[in-house]
Amino acid sequence: MTDACVYLVGTGPGDPELLTVKALRLLQNSDVVVYDRLVTDEILQLIPAGVSRIFVGKQSGKHTVPQDEINSLLVKLAESKRTIVRLKGGDPFIFGRGSEEAVYLARHHVAFEVVPGITAASACSSYAGIPLTHRGLAHGVQIITGHCQGDLPLDFDWRSLADADKTIVVYMGVANISFIVDRLIQAGLAETTPAAAIENGTSRKQRRLLTTLARLPQETRQAGLSAPVLFVIGKVVQLADELEWFTPGEIEALQPAVAFEKERHG
């Protein structure tokens, strides 16, 4: 029997057609799938009948399965299963805790592979009509988390972060967006800096809010936006109306053109 392998697979942020070919092949040839809360139903429907599914989703302050138990679960599954797919929204190594799981697997001598996914910063901004970089508007991107482990206070170099010539992308920032905005303004970023909030990016339920940095917290609350929300701050946001192309609700279920044959050995 082939040695077990755990595949840490990124699914992208929602649209099933953003899956990589490799991610789809592994899904359709898996023995067991361990998946997170942000993996969409459309992607879960691509898992063949009979494949074991284990939900280990978590959100801020409400962990269905603690991270250390997820780590142990992956090692345990590897003792008896040949192909384990650890399915994560976005990219496993960008605020997905995939590197923590990979370290644990490596230290327990379990083979693993990482399958990158399109991260929310790239996909959600694109589906909202916002380029992360644009000549004359932004020559770099800064990606930060808006929520720290154990609810510890956010501790960034705010002066460095408040760079008007770069785009700031904030993951998991709904609870702390007022704090983040206040610190950026105090550090010198103009209150009138264009800003956006994107809820459920790339999915049928996507909502996009365009505003300014100073008004971002208030308008996010007034719109009733809730996680998952990605915040984009910077001059590139001013292009959103001109570059708008995506109509939420038009995503179709993925119908793969290539059927991957499932092979069983032993």
- Catalytic residue ranges: 36, 58
How many angstroms from the chain centroid is the CA of residue 236? 21
Using a 10 angstrom Cβ sphere, with 0-12 exposed, 13-18 middle and 19 or more buried, the burial of residue 225 is buried
Tokens of 212: 């300014």
The C-alpha atoms of residue 236 and residue 166 are separated, in whole angstroms, by: 9
Best CA proximity match to 143, nearest among 98, 182, 106, 90? 90
The C-alpha atoms of residue 49 and residue 90 are separated, in whole angstroms, by: 24
Provide the total of helices (H) and of strands (E) in the chain, helices listed first.
8, 12
The C-alpha atoms of residue 186 and residue 124 are separated, in whole angstroms, by: 28
* Alpha helix stretches (DSSP H) within 163-231: 177-186, 216-222
> Which residues on adjacent β-strands are paired with residue 197?
209, 231
